[in-house]
């Protein structure tokens, strides 16, 4: 009789680490959330989790989704002082298999398995099954990933798409570009489609209008836009939505994303109704002669609270089928 193998997944950010146990291939149970600052290393967090769940004697497969580059053996966290060698971590925890993927690779692998309770469609368009999917996620930065079907499952196409050149399409956006060019040698979409981006759009519009705006953080701008208490905040958030629509449409054109373009990240799910009423979808579809192309492609906001864990689970299940 084959020895039982326990499969664990983790979603590791700059503040929190979430660890869960894979049950019946797609279900994740025993999810625990830890503050990264409370532990000296990733290995110590896992030792704590394994001891709490009586798993320290079991054979383990582990998939880690991490918000930093993961191509080399040495993984250095971007927003915290942790770093580790994949080979040393595998040996320290006595793992059978260790898979380490980028956080947006994980989200990309989660998307094909989301149901209607885990996403909200924005505007028209119909999903064509088993075609490419694109994902972008405004948050601290702007994450981008794509996932395409293959005979063995889904293949994630990573990259740094959030850092492509910002392309304004009207006079207001040209003014925003000019404002940001005073601060940056290179103005990327991440400078607009992120928490900092909302603030910089707000500052740029105030500058363009020749008014002195009260300094506000991104969440304050969003709140004032949603409750209608500040016109400049409303204009700023609507501008954010328009630029996001243009960027998402660019992703759809680039990869022929007929299975949909998905918005991830921690920002947009907070104002889905505002997004629906904005010009997001209009700008997504407005691609000149190629407008009929994008009009048929659906757009969604991911509302699932744990897409990183779900994606790490999907990736683990696909890569290690013989152990599940």
Q: Which residues are annotated as a binding site?
A: 10-15
Through-space distance between the first and last CA atoms of the chain, rounded to whole angstroms: 15
Cβ–Cβ < 8 Å for 189, 164: yes
- Distance (Å, whole) CA 285 – CA 11: 33
Contact 112, 310 (CB under 8 A): no
Is the separation of the CB atoms in 102 and 70 below 8 Å? yes
Residues 6+ apart with CB under 8 A from 203: 179, 213
Q: Alpha-carbon torsion 115, 316, 150, 306, what sign?
A: positive
Query: d(Cα 313, Cα 324) in Å, to the nearest integer?
Result: 11
Give the residue ranges of the annotated binding site for ATP. Answer: 10-15
Contacts of 86-92 with C-beta under 8 Å, sequence gap 24+, read 89/42, 89/43, 92/43
Tokens of residue 13, six digits: 């950010």
Cα torsion 282, 286, 292, 294 to 10°: value is -70
CA of 34: how far to CAs of 15, 83, 132, 206, 288, in Å?
Answer: 9, 17, 34, 40, 48
User: What is the DSSP track for 100-134?
Assistant: EEEHHHHHHHHGGG--GGGEEEESS--PPTTS-EE
17, 307, 144, 154 alpha-carbon torsion, rounded to 10°:
120
Main-chain phi, psi angles of 108, to 5 degrees? -60, -40
């Amino acid at each position: 009789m084959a020895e039982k193998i326990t499969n664990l997944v983790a979603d590791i950010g700059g503040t929190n680490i979430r660890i869960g146990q894979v049950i019946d291939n797609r279900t994740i149970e025993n999810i625990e959330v830890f503050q990264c600052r409370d532990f000296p290393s990733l290995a110590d967090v896992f030792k704590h989790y394994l001891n709490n769940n009586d798993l320290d004697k079991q054979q383990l497969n582990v998939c880690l989704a991490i918000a930093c580059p993961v191509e080399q053996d040495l993984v250095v966290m971007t927003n915290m002082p942790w770093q580790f060698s994949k080979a040393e971590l595998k040996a320290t925890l006595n793992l059978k298999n260790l898979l380490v993927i980028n956080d947006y690779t994980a989200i990309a692998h989660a998307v094909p398995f989301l149901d209607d309770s885990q996403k909200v469609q924005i505007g028209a368009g119909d999903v064509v099954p088993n075609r490419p999917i694109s994902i972008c996620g405004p948050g601290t930065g702007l994450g981008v990933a794509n996932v395409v079907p293959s005979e063995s499952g889904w293949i994630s196409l990573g990259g740094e798409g959030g850092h492509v050149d910002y392309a304004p399409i009207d006079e207001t956006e040209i003014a925003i570009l000019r404002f940001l060019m005073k601060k940056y040698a290179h103005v990327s979409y991440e400078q607009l489609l992120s928490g900092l981006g909302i603030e910089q759009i707000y500052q740029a519009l105030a500058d363009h209008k020749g008014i002195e705006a009260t300094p506000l953080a991104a969440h304050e701008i969003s709140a004032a836009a949603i409750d209608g208490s500040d016109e400049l905040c409303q204009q700023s958030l609507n501008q954010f939505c328009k630029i996001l629509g243009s960027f998402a449409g660019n992703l759809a054109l680039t990869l022929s994303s007929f299975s949909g373009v998905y918005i991830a990240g921690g920002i947009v799910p907070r104002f889905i109704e505002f997004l629906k009423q904005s010009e997001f979808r209009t700008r997504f579809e407005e691609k000149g002669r190629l407008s009929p192309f994008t009009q048929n492609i659906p757009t969604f906001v991911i509302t699932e609270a744990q897409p990183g864990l779900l994606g790490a689970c999907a990736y683990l299940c696909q890569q290690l089928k013989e152990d599940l």
